[in-house]
Amino acid sequence: MKKNICIALMFVICLVMNAKTTVTITEGDNSIIKQKTTCVFDIDFTEADIEGVSYNEYMASRDDHFRNAWPQEQQEVKEEFIKQWNKTNKNGMQLVLNGETPNKMLLKFRSVDFGNTAMSAIFGGFAGGGANGSGELLIYQNDNIMLAVDFLDVNGPAMYTETKRTKALVKNIIKQVYKKIKK
């Protein structure tokens, strides 16, 4: 009986976590993602509130080990985003880390909470402890915005490290954004 109650509770928490996600096209035409083209991808946290404080305050509050590891971890997150995007959008716009192209895609966070390792350990991938983010996905061509998509309260599943939680979050951002813009 207790097991059934726990499973039901986790299911309800998962539904609630995903129910508040909002994705809106705020500018441009989504047909750009269907074009066979290459786009350089980047992620920007610099203007985001991270766990309730500015990016600069967040970085200052972390130790040297964290700050030194941050660039490599963000590189891994970018690579995961590119891998998932290219897999999802096989017949359209493909992303790369570097290259000569007038097209740019920027995942720009307004707010992010990287989740909680202790909650991840308690609840596993079902609920609690996952990362949460809000921001914009912007596609530029020659510095002109071709598509702007706003996302609010996208959640990732619980994972045991901040990097894994962030990778899981960007996968969910792709799912939610792509579902909106593929139409």
Phi and psi, residue 52, nearest 5° = 90, 0
Predicted confidence at residue 108, as pLDDT, reads: 97
Strand-pair partners of 108: 44, 136
Q: Tens-of-pLDDT digits for all 183 residues of the chain?
A: 555 443 434 444 444 444 578 999 999 989 999 999 999 999 999 999 999 999 999 999 999 999 999 999 999 999 999 999 999 999 999 999 999 999 999 999 999 998 875 554 455 544 566 889 999 999 999 999 999 999 999 988 877 788 888 888 988 998 898 888 876
* 45 three-state secondary structure: coil
State pTM to two decimals.
0.82
Angstrom distances, CA of residue 7 to CA of 1, 10, 127, 128: 10, 5, 11, 14
> What is the model's pLDDT at position 144?
95
Domain boundaries, the chain: 2-181
